[in-house]
Homo-oligomer: A and B are copies of this chain.
Amino acid sequence: MKLLLEISFYGKPFYGYQVQAKGPSVQAELNRAAEKLFGYPCDIVGCSRTDSGVHARRYYVTVSEKGKPGLCTDLDPSRIPLALSFHLPESIAVRKAEWVGEDFHPRYGVLEKTYRYYMRFSPVRDPFTAETCWQVPYGSLPDRLERMRKAAGYFVGTHDFASFMAAGSKIKDPVRTVTRSEVRQEDEQTVFEVSADGFLYHMVRIFAGTLVEVAAGRKEPEDMIRVLEARDRHAAGPTAPAHGLFLWDVRYPEF
């Protein structure tokens, strides 16, 4: 059996999820903590790559002994979240642990992922969301929410999303199915929530950057049809900064 962990992490201190030579990563911290807890080196496999600075409200990893299909421990899974969290920095929390079969893969097994991108349209900064929300320094923009909602609606469905993929990305098949794409206001924050069977590199951040173009009146909601059809990164808006992005939820067939 492998161990499946549900974790959360605050992205600011990390060069993303994956181990990087240039600095701290969530995976490197998990490797270190797991080796301390279990007493041997482990393989940690994550559910998704994440960019430097991106946050995860929910993220899943499997843990197995290095080079082996599973893991041996006398610890009850209910005790593992606190025990592992003890060896991790404050920016990472282990929420749950459970046993899964050795053929379970946290990335290939994903049914649907949901991201949220947080924006705040205000010239005035907010000390409580400075690290978790993109402050867009415009004053009031007419029909902003309605325009963003309408534009976001065009992302729903099975499309070739090449226009919303980082230039230079080597993905051969940029067709994805977006099952939800919504914009709503939560107090002073504007939240863009999007679910899909998979995402291209920078896809949500380019969605968000393009929605801000629509909010500002530099693009019309209907332009999204043309942007999708162009299959060209230049047709979409800029890439929104990493710190507004949260991997919000990950759905698997069962557990």
Contacts and interface: CB of A to CB of B under 8 A. Distances in A.
A85 B126 CA distance: 10
Contact of A55 (B9, B81, B91, B128): B128
Interface string A67-84: 000000000000001100
A109 interface: no
B127 A10 contact: yes
A190 to B, nearest CB: 18
B9 A93 contact: no
B8 A126 contact: yes
B93 A127 contact: yes
A241 to B, nearest CB: 16
Contacts of A32: none
Nearest to A92: B127
Interface in A26-70: 55, 57
Contact of A82 (B85, B94, B123): B123
Contacts of A130: 90
Contacts of A85: 124-125
B82 A95 contact: no
A9 B127 contact: yes
Q: Which of A55, A125, A126, A130 has the most chain B CB atoms closer than 10 A to its own CB? A: A125
A114 interface: no
A90 B10 CA distance: 19
A132 interface: yes
26 contacts: A8-B126, A8-B127, A8-B128, A9-B127, A10-B127, A10-B128, A55-B128, A57-B128, A81-B123, A81-B124, A82-B123, A82-B124, A85-B124, A85-B125, A90-B125, A90-B127, A90-B130, A91-B127, A92-B127, A93-B124, A93-B125, A93-B126, A93-B127, A94-B124, A95-B124, A128-B132
Interface of A: 8-10, 55, 57, 81-82, 85, 90-95, 123-128, 130, 132
